[in-house]
Amino acid sequence: MSLKKFTPFLLLFFTLVISGCTDETLPDNENEVKDVESVESENIELLYQNEEHGLTISENMEWELESEKETDNLNIVLIHNKLKAIISSVSSANSFEDIKTDLFKGAGNVSLVQDKEDFISFESNLKDSIRTDVYFRSQDDADHYIIIFMSQASNYDDNQDKIESLLSHINLN
C-alpha cells in the first residue's frame, strides 16, 4: 500500500490524539477528583452531629460523647479519660467579652492564666487545681459557641494534644 492511502488515516489519528490531549478533558477530570473527595468526606465517621445548630464533630483520639442537652441552647459533654470538654451554644446577643466576664465571676476562687480575644484560661486555687480553657467560636453571626476544656492542672501539658485535636475536628456550618 502506498503512503497516499494512509495519509488520511494518519491525519485523522494524529488529530484525535492531539484533541484528546487538550485542556478540554481537564474539567471532566477535575469533576472526578471532586467527586472522589466528596465521597471521601462523606465516609468520615462522626462523633456528633446536630443539623439544627450546624455542628459536627468528626471521630478522633477516642473522645466519647457523654451527654447532650438541648433547651434554648445546645450543651454537649465529651470525655477523654479524665479530660472533659463542654460545647455550648450561646446567644449572639452576648459578646465574647460579656461571656468571659460572666465565666470568670462564676468560676469562684481562680487565677487568670491567659486572656486573648477568643480564648480565656484560668486555674482553680485549690490543692488539686483544675485548669479550664475556654475557646470562643462564631457561626455566621447566628450563634456563638463556647468550648470549655477542664483537666487537672498537673496533667494539662499531657492533654494539650487531645485538646488541639478535638478543636480541629469541630465544624460549625
pTM: 0.72
Q: Name the DSSP class of 44.
A: P
Region of poorest pLDDT, from 36-40, 44-48, 143-147: 36-40
State whether residue 167 is helix, strand or coil: helix
Q: Taking 50 as the threshold, does the pLDDT of residue 40 lie above it? A: no
47-172: what fold? Answer: Protein Transport Mog1p; Chain A (3.40.1000)
CB 69 within 8 A of CB 75: yes
Give per-residue pLDDT as tens, 91-126. 888 888 988 888 888 888 999 999 998 999 999 998
Confidence at residue 43, expressed as pLDDT on a 0 to 100 scale: 65
Confidence at residue 141, expressed as pLDDT on a 0 to 100 scale: 64
Average pLDDT, the chain: 79
User: For the chain, which residues make up each domain, given as ranges?
Assistant: 3-42, 47-172
Q: Which of 81, 160, 114, 85 is nearest to 123 (CA)?
A: 114
CB 108 within 8 A of CB 133: no
